[in-house]
Amino acid sequence: MTCVDDERGMCYIEVKSSSAPLEEGIHFHMSENEYRFACENSDRYYVYYVASVNDKHPKVVPLGDVFRDSEFNDSNYYLSAKEYYVSANYRSEKKINRTSEKSGDSKN
């Protein structure tokens, strides 16, 4: 989400949510792109966490300082890598034309 701040201009808001109550702690996933973008725009990037999202009265918590000075704020938050993205180049198998040595085609 984007917004306009009178002091900073364009700002970016990331909303993360969980069905778990706030008392169980704040936990959410960020993609590599989200993380990189947040670091690059840390002075204009805000995270809001919504706990108990399925309840009648969910709790909205602003986490304004998750990123600061172009990096993750590890003095207040913990970051762990739990997901991995695996990719590969796909090459279709070419038919290999094999000549059997038994057919007499081998040359010595």
Q: What is the pLDDT along the chain (108 residues), one digit of tens a residue?
A: 888 877 778 889 999 999 999 888 888 888 888 888 988 988 888 889 999 999 999 999 888 778 777 667 777 777 776 665 555 566 656 655 555 545 455 454
* Rg (alpha carbons) of the chain, rounded to whole number: 26
At 40 the three-state DSSP class reads helix
Q: Tokens 């739990």 identify what position?
A: 82
pLDDT at 106: 47
Prediction pTM value: 0.64
Report the pLDDT value the prediction gives residue 108, as an integer from 0 to 100. 47
Domain positions in the chain are 1-73
Q: pLDDT value at position 55?
A: 95
Alpha carbons 81 and 9: distance in angstroms, whole number? 32
